[in-house]
Every structure is written in C-alpha cells, then in structure tokens.
C-alpha cells in the first residue's frame, strides 16, 4: 500500500521547487504567478476560467479541509466520482504534458450539498468523559465563490462475505471502560476518526493497532475527543475526532487518503469496502460491496458491505489504482446497520469533517 501523504508531498514539493506557491496563502493570490495553459481536458476547480496548476493546489487544499470550492464536480479531474489526491496527481502530470488515463466525461449527477458550515464542537476527556470545552470550527473559506431508519446490531446482508484483513495499518480498535469496543482510523499525526456514538458519554480505556499478523503493535493514549454540539446519534452528526497524547506519533499509521464521494459515485454504485473490528469475530475483517443508488439522508451513504456491531467508526473507502499501485481513499464513516438487512449506512465525508481534522492537527 502506498501512503497517500507521499503523493501530496510530491505535488507540493514540485510547486515549492518552482516558486509558485506559499501554502499559507489563498490559492487565488498565487494564480497570477502561474502561466495559463489551454488543454483539451478542463479542470477549473478554483472557478477562475483557466485549467492550470492553481487548480491542483485548490483540489489539494479542498481535500485537506483548508478551503471549500463552488463546483465539486470540477475537482474530479479523472471523472471517477471520487475527489482525492489522485486528481491532484493526474492533473499535475497532465499539465506537465505527461501521459494520463482519464475516464470518459460523465455528467451524471451534480453534487452541490457537501456540508461546509461553521460548526460547534464539545471536547470531552477521553479518560473521565467530562466536558473540557466548547469550541467552534468556522466554515472553510470558499475559493472562486461567484454564487452560491431504525438501526440494528445485525448488519450482515445475505451470505456473510467478510474475511480476515490486517493489511490496513491505519485502522485501530477502540476499547471502552464498559468492555465494549468499536473501530477508528488515523487521519493525522495525532487524530483518529470514528463514529460519534462510539465515544459519546463513554470513557476510552485503550486504542490498539495491530501488525499484519494480528499482533498488537502500538497502543497510543487517548487524551480527548470532539463531537458536534448538535450530535443526534445519526447522520450527518454521528462522527467524532479522538486526539492522542503529544507523546504519541501516528504518522506511520496515516495511510488513508482523504476524499469525497460525488453523487455520480452513488448513482453508479461504486465499489467500496469497510474494514473494522466486529464483535462477532475474533479478528479484524473487511466487507466488500457497493454504494446503493437510493435516496439518503443529508450527507448519509448506504451500501451493501457486511458489517456487525463493533464495526462502527470503520472507514468506508474505495480502492483506486494508478500506475499499478493501490490507493485507499476514505469517503465515509460506518455508523449503523439497518433492520431490514438490505443495506448498511454511514456518514458521508464532507468539508465539515475534514476541516475539523485540519483544525485539530
């Protein structure tokens, strides 16, 4: 597995080397310093009328939670329905006149509602469960703005097709003081995302990472966790960010790429996977399936991957292949199974969530 941050580093290193950007600045202020190119393919992520290196920077800052954009579909350069670091990588190569493989243009669906709002959060102690503070994460500034069911523990659908899988280093088991456990995944050098109901009103006793053989490898200490102040136990507020001690470094476990699933990925029922620690099995497991093309709640996604109690907080991710290598892009957080066994559901990744990660990194 290739670590996604290496792609980002290579993209940013290129721009720094040619003196085009200062990452502390808004990309619009740097666009004038970059030559404008005209190409057959178009990708106007920053809505300035041009396809150029400024769009690469804009997409990167969007998935990093730094800025928001007007037209989400414009950021999907390779037309696969997923906005990720691979769009940055392919667009960079395209602008450098290197060969790239682009899917045929597909205008199916139009994504306009990925949440980007000022959000209030409660920060709780991970060890005592007591409220530490209330804080706000402001909505990400918009680049190029011109206008603008019942749950069940049983979540296996039909035949159980899950299989043992310790290959994803960034996934951890979250054990609470009441003896129950759930799943989380690393999103920064000190942050772990999970479902909000996993930690709400609970105390964390341990966080455990395993090696490829299922042997305990690392047990960082949790300090606190943040959840939306309007948390309701359901999408779109059923998510939480756990912060580990400053003495712990999760950089080696930050192996998942940040991404967004556009409406076209749902309409076309893209292939996805969910990996976690279900309570009915004695090992970490993966369930594979597809997104369901159905009407979902706001920023909710439905899918056919098999899960079980304990899988809550697992990453919902897609496997994208580029130049023969696999890149795992998180597009959601698993939260629940539905009583009719026809689908499971989770929170769809949106700017609010990635902006929370950025704010606390």
Catalytic residue, chosen from 273, 309, 312, 336, is: 312
The per-residue pLDDT for 314 is 95
Separation CA 361–CA 359 (nearest Å): 6
Across 159-163, 234-238, 293-297, least confident range: 293-297
Separation CA 227–CA 41 (nearest Å): 41
Across 50-54, 112-116, 240-244, least confident range: 112-116
The better pLDDT of the pair 151, 344 is held by: 344
Catalytic residue, chosen from 50, 55, 73, 238, is: 238
The per-residue pLDDT for 156 is 67
Domain extents in the chain: 4-95
Which pair of tokens denotes residue 110? 């139009």
Q: If you average pLDDT over each of 151-165, 199-213, 232-246, 300-314, which comes out highest?
A: 199-213
Residue 339 has pLDDT above 60, yes or no: no
Separation CA 267–CA 278 (nearest Å): 28
Integer CA distances (angstroms), 342 to 52, 159, 188, 276, in order: 44, 12, 34, 20
Across 63-77, 147-161, 197-211, 226-240, least confident range: 147-161
Separation CA 95–CA 90 (nearest Å): 9
Separation CA 16–CA 176 (nearest Å): 44
Map tokens 């069911």 to a residue: 149
Residue 197 designated active-site: yes
The answer to whether residues 189 and 361 touch, using CB atoms and an 8 Å cutoff, is: yes
pLDDT digits (tens, 9 = 90+) for 278-308: 988 889 999 899 998 875 556 888 898 988 8
Residue 326 designated active-site: no
The per-residue pLDDT for 26 is 35
The per-residue pLDDT for 144 is 54
Residue 273 designated active-site: no
Catalytic residue, chosen from 168, 197, 334, 355, is: 197
Straight-line distance from the first to the last Cα atom of the chain, in angstroms, rounded to the nearest whole number:
24
* Mean pLDDT for the stretch of residues 215-236: 92
The answer to whether residues 65 and 354 touch, using CB atoms and an 8 Å cutoff, is: yes
Residue 233 has pLDDT above 50, yes or no: yes
DSSP state, 67?
A: E
The per-residue pLDDT for 157 is 64
Integer CA distances (angstroms), 30 to 27, 33, 34, 48, in order: 5, 5, 7, 12
Instruction: Give SS3 for 113.
Output: coil
pLDDT digits (tens, 9 = 90+) for 36-69: 333 456 788 888 888 888 888 888 888 888 778 8
Comparing C-alpha atoms, which of 262, 270, 267, 226 is closest to residue 244? Answer: 226
Instruction: Output the average pLDDT for the chain.
Output: 80
The better pLDDT of the pair 170, 48 is held by: 170
The per-residue pLDDT for 20 is 35
Residue 128 has pLDDT above 80, yes or no: yes
Residue 15 has pLDDT above 80, yes or no: no
């Amino acid at each position: 597995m290739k670590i996604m941050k290496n792609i980002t580093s290579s993209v940013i290193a290129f721009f720094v080397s040619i003196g085009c950007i200062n990452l502390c600045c808004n990309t619009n202020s740097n666009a004038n310093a970059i030559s404008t190119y005209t190409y057959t393919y178009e990708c106007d992520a920053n809505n300035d009328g041009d396809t150029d290196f400024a769009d690469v920077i804009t997409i990167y800052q969007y998935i990093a939670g730094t800025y928001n954009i007007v037209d989400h579909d414009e950021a999907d350069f390779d037309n696969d329905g997923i906005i990720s670091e691979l769009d940055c990588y392919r667009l960079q190569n395209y602008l450098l006149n290197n060969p790239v493989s682009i899917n045929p243009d597909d205008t199916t669906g139009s994504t306009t509602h990925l949440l980007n709002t000022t959000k209030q959060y409660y920060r709780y102690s991970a060890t005592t469960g007591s409220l530490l503070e209330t804080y706000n994460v402001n909505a990400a500034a918009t680049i190029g703005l011109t206008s603008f069911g019942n749950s069940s523990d049983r979540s296996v659908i039909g035949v159980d097709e899950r299989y043992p899988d310790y290959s994803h280093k960034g996934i951890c088991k979250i054990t609470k003081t009441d003896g129950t456990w759930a799943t989380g995944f690393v999103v920064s050098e000190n942050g772990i995302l999970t479902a909000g109901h996993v930690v709400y009103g609970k105390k964390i006793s341990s966080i455990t990472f395993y090696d490829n053989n299922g042997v305990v490898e690392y047990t960082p200490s949790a300090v606190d966790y943040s959840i939306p102040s309007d948390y309701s136990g359901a999408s779109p507020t059923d998510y939480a960010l756990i912060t580990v001690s400053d003495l712990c470094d999760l950089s080696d476990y930050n192996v998942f790429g940040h991404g967004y699933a556009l409406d076209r990925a749902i309409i076309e029922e893209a292939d996805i996977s969910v990996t976690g620690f279900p309570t009915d099995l004695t090992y970490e497991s993966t369930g594979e399936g597809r997104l369901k093309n159905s009407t979902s709640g706001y920023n909710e996604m439905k899918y056919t991957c098999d899960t079980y109690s304990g899988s809550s907080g697992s990453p919902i991710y897609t496997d994208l292949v580029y130049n023969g290598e696999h890149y795992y892009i998180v597009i959601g957080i698993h939260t629940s199974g539905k009583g009719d066994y026809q689908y499971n559901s989770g929170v769809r990744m949106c700017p609010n969530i990635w902006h929370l990660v950025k704010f606390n990194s």
